[in-house]
Amino acid sequence: MERNGVRAFLGMIRRWGKAVLGKEQIVLNSAGIFHVGPEKMVEMAEGCGLKLKTYFRHKEVDQQGSVVDSQFRYDYLFTV
């Protein structure tokens, strides 16, 4: 509800009710987000033939409007 608002929250409750009655299917974690630390990400990419040039923390804007380093996201630059 914090991220998507009251309308999305109420919509999910409606979908949940339909799922309980067997009229709809809810797939949790359907966003397909993959979380892994930089070391594992580089290892996996290099295993696919990519070569790391650099990586750094993603920049984002905080609630005060300042540009800050992301707590969890990284940006990567690879070559083939």
Tell me phi and psi for residue 67, to 5 degrees: -85, 125
Residue 4, both tokens: 């998507």
Same-domain status, 66 and 46: yes
- Categorize the per-residue pLDDT at 67 as very low, low, confident or very high, splitting at 50, 70 and 90: very high
Same-domain status, 79 and 45: yes
Same-domain status, 47 and 76: yes
Question: What torsion do the CA atoms of 34, 37, 39, 44 make, to the nearest 10 degrees?
Answer: -10
Residue 33, both tokens: 């987000």
CA angle 32, 60, 9 (to 5 degrees): 50
Q: CA–CA separation, 7 vs 42, rounded Å?
A: 40
- The Cβ of residue 69 has, within 10 Å, a number of other Cβ atoms equal to 11
- State the total domains in the chain: 2
pLDDT single digits (tens) 7-52 = 988 988 998 898 888 888 877 665 667 789 999 999 999 999 999 9
Same-domain status, 69 and 55: yes
User: Containing domain of residue 41, as a range?
Assistant: 34-80
